[in-house]
Amino acid sequence: MDDPPTLAAPASWEGVLVGEAGTMALGAALARAGLCRGAVCLAGELGTGKTTLVRGFLRAAGVTGTIRSPTFTLVEEYRVGTMRVAHYDLYRLSDPEELELLGLRDHLTADSLCFFEWPERGVGVLPDPQIDIRLEYAGGGGADDARRVRCTGSECAARDLLGRATRDLFR
Ligand SMILES: Nc1ncnc2c1ncn2[C@@H]1O[C@H](COP(=O)(O)OP(=O)(O)OP(=O)(O)O)[C@@H](O)[C@H]1O
Ligand SMILES: [Mg+2]
C-alpha cells in the first residue's frame, strides 16, 4: 500500500489573541511545543504584547521568579534547567553595534534561545530568526483590543514547532 501523503507544515500561521491571557497562552504553547533554542523576533507597535508573550513562554518553561521587561536593561537572562534564554528589548538601542556589549555573541550559541523585541533596531547584527512573530491591534488600536498575530517559521523544524504550538492552542 502507498504511504499516506505527508503534509508539510505551513510556513506561517495567523490568529487572534483575546486578552492578556490569550497572548500568554501562545507563549506557553511555544514552550510546550519544545521551543528551546534559536532566535525569535517579536515585531509590533508599542504595547501590542511582545513582552507578555515572552512572559507566557518563560512561565510555562518553569521560571518562577519575577519576569521583568527588558525595557531599560535591554536584555534579561534566564536559565531553566539546561536551557538558557536571553530576552532583548532593542527599543532604546542607539546603535546595533551595542549588541556586542550586551553579550549577544554568548547568547547566540547552539544551546541558547533569544527573543528580540524591536528587532528592526538590530538590523545588520541580529541573525535571521527561526521564528518571526508579528503582533498588531486587531481593532481600532485601543489597549483593550484583541491582538492579531502572524507567526512565520523559516525552516521545516520551526514550522513543525509552530504547527504543534498552534494546534495545542485550539485543542
Ligand atoms: N491579546 C491581548 N489583548 C488585550 N491586551 C493584551 C493582549 N496581550 C497583551 N495585552 C496587554 O497589553 C499591554 C502591553 O503588553 P506588553 O508590555 O507585553 O507589550 P509590548 O509589545 O512588550 O510593549 P513595548 O513595545 O512597550 O515593549 C499589557 O497591559 C498586556 O496585558
Ligand atoms: Mg515589551
pLDDT tens digit sequence for 18-44: 999 999 999 999 999 999 999 999 999
Q: Is residue 28 part of a domain?
A: yes
- Selection from 91, 86, 79, 96 nearest residue 54 by Cα: 86
Structure confidence by residue, pLDDT tens digits, 110-139: 899 999 999 999 999 999 999 999 999 999
The cell for 74 is 535591554
Q: Which comes out higher in pLDDT, residue 54 or 170?
A: 54
- Give the CATH number of the domain where residue 160 resides: 3.40.50.300
pLDDT above 60 (res 1)? no
Bin 167: left if φ > 0, else alpha if -120 < ψ < 50, else beta. alpha
Please state, in angstroms and rounded to a whole number, the distance separating the CA atoms of residues 23 and 148.
Answer: 10
Structure confidence by residue, pLDDT tens digits, 34-85: 999 999 999 999 999 999 999 999 999 999 999 999 999 999 999 999 999 9
For residue 26, what are the domain limits? 15-169
57 Cα–ligand 1 center, Å: 14
What's this model's pTM, rounded to 2 decimal places?
0.95
Query: For 83, how many CA atoms within 13 A lie in the half-sphere containing its CB?
Result: 18
pLDDT value for 140: 81
Handedness of CA 35, 36, 42, 47 (dihedral sign): positive
Q: Is residue 154 part of a domain?
A: yes
Please state, in angstroms and rounded to a whole number, the distance separating the CA atoms of residues 105 and 24.
Answer: 28
Banded model confidence at residue 158, pLDDT cuts 50, 70, 90: very high
Mean per-residue pLDDT for 86-111? 95
Mutation to probe ligand 1, out of 14, 17, 18, 23 (largest number of atoms < 8 A from CB): 23
Ion ligand 2 contact residues with beta carbon within 5 A: 50-51, 69, 117
Q: Is residue 10 part of a domain?
A: no
When divided into structural domains, the chain yields a total of 1
Ligand 1 interacting residues, C-beta cut-off 6 A: 17-20, 22-23, 44, 46-52, 89, 117, 144, 146-147
Q: Is residue 4 part of a domain?
A: no
pLDDT value for 5: 66
Q: Is residue 26 part of a domain?
A: yes
Q: Is residue 100 part of a domain?
A: yes
